[in-house]
Structure 1
Amino acid sequence: MGADAEDDDHVPVVSTELYDADFDAFVKARNARALGAAYEKYGFVILQNHGVPDELISRSLECSKRFFALSSEEKMRYHLPGLGGARGYTAFGVETAKGSAHHDLKEFWHLGRDLPVGHPLERYMPPNVRVREGDFTSATTEVYRALDALGGRVLEALAVHLGQTRDYFADKVNEGNSILRVIHYPALVKEGQDVNEALSKAGHVRAAAHEDINLITLLLGADEGGLELLRRDGKWMEVNPPPGCVTCNIGDMLQRLSNHRLPSTTHRVVNPKPERTAFPRYSMPFFLHPNPDFVIDTLSTCVSEEHPNRYPEPITSDEYLQQRLREIKLK
């Protein structure tokens, strides 16, 4: 994961090639420190040569487009009431960013970890919903597994950066309540509709400013732009990863665990420019969560006289998750 030189106008791009070939060489080359420094500055990094096949990404995107093209009635057959959107389909106009008065302009699908019947953690992770139409389920399941593996590799490097052993996170995320979210942001205009009228809808945006709940998020590149992050100087910056890359950002749980050494950066998806309002947007973020019973207790290596513990009261990851789901109106 050798990092490019820092640039205040661009999120750093790193490669996993040396990491995969020789982790010890990767650490000795100070790449773990460089990667951690990039996260400390931006909360975001773009990953190249990440190992998720382009063919799989393309196939899952096409399957997603076909699924979201189904009628509302057909999609609502896959909605599971009472689960806070944890599995299956969540309709347009439901999720609302914390502190926002307006719902986001999106609909989405959630796929989680498959557990055997009778597993002790199944009360936290309900069974996945299988889509009857097309290859949507098989394609997204493959993406889930690939991003779960990639996330584990990123966490190994971050563990070293935080003064922990390489395998610190291994037994803390191996049964994590991680989620693959497949998102459809519909086009903002229909044929014959005035563009300015569409853009003046009362304050709604594709995804209002927010931070992610989890440890890290891995985002497969969207086919349309709009992702922006809030820099430390208060300015918004576009995030435009090169084709085939994965964008990886820090979530609130890792921010809390690291005592804000690794910050969770505010980000949003803005509405498109007028010439792109007739185009929908699709994306696939993977929210990597720890095991539900993992206790988020500030790492001692991230506490000092200069940086006292911001979170003296530990909390389990599931308790934290449930609090946040209520705040964003999914529960």
Structure 2
Amino acid sequence: MLNFCTLFDTKFLPYGLNLHSSLMQHAGSFHLYIFAFDDKCHEVLLKLNLPHTTVISLSEFEDEALLAIKPTRTRGEYCWTCTPSTILYCINTFGLENCTYIDSDIYFYEDPVHLLQEMGEKEILLTLHRYTPKYDETHLSGKFCVQFMTFKNKPESLAALDWWRNACIDWCYNRVEDGKFGDQKYLDDWETCFDNVHVLQNPGGGVAPWNVQQYGIEQKGSETYVTFEGREYKLNFYHFHGLRFLSDSKLSLCEYSLPRKVVALLYGPYISLYLQHYKMLKQLDSSLDLWLPAGRDLSTFKKNTLNFLKGKYNIHRINKFVKAWPN
């Protein structure tokens, strides 16, 4: 059994549903613990009753230490602050043998068990940013990305997790200060501080906008492959960091330059699935505050998005994905 936890609020509901869909399609035996970061998100998730999922409200999760510092953090900073606490909560509350934290805007293309098998007897799994050189921000954002991290229910792992939780409660802000940044820079020296840390080696895990420029990408039947440093791997997961549906006339894929085939093979289908979940959620509750068209219908957004993608990336494959988008 693979145990995952993630956290998001109402605005991120479609991303979270995309994540869950990818696990349903590609993961074997799994359970996903979702921390709903506002009441409306919790209400909707309970209505959806997603399979292999447990929904946890803030009232269940937040303790005195978190509530004490909550007013001092922005929404994003508080989410970062809570990350180690969500993992620890799942292990302790549900008696899990292991728990993997995953960001809500990643999408799996292959069973993540192939990544976790690398750990062997190690207790902690970390994921590199693996920056493309021109985007390298290791000195600012850290060597590791919190996007995919595993902790086992073992003494050293729990000690590291407890230390990280206390550090984030003490300081976790969206700025660089005294060698710290958010929740990530704390991880930089874990390979030397702890004996049971494994750094993920499979380049098919952790592909993201800040490193995808180093990869080749191909679709072979129903499977997606990436080439990294001359070797081919199955794509395990991609992190759709920075993808935002700003209005009925503005779409932001990310802040980095993306290869055209990546947009066609990854972003097209992901956006299509997002729109299906957006439409379903709006039908469930029309008052939901989600990232998408100001005009409250999809037609203008689809037209403008198609023009944007074709104009910027000039890829004919985008057409078939847009045609599949819901009306």
TM interval, short-chain normalised? under 0.3
Quick one: higher RCO (CA 8 Å, sep 6+), 1 or 2? 1
Identify, as 1 or 2, the structure richer in helix: 2
Name whichever structure is richer in strand by fraction: 2
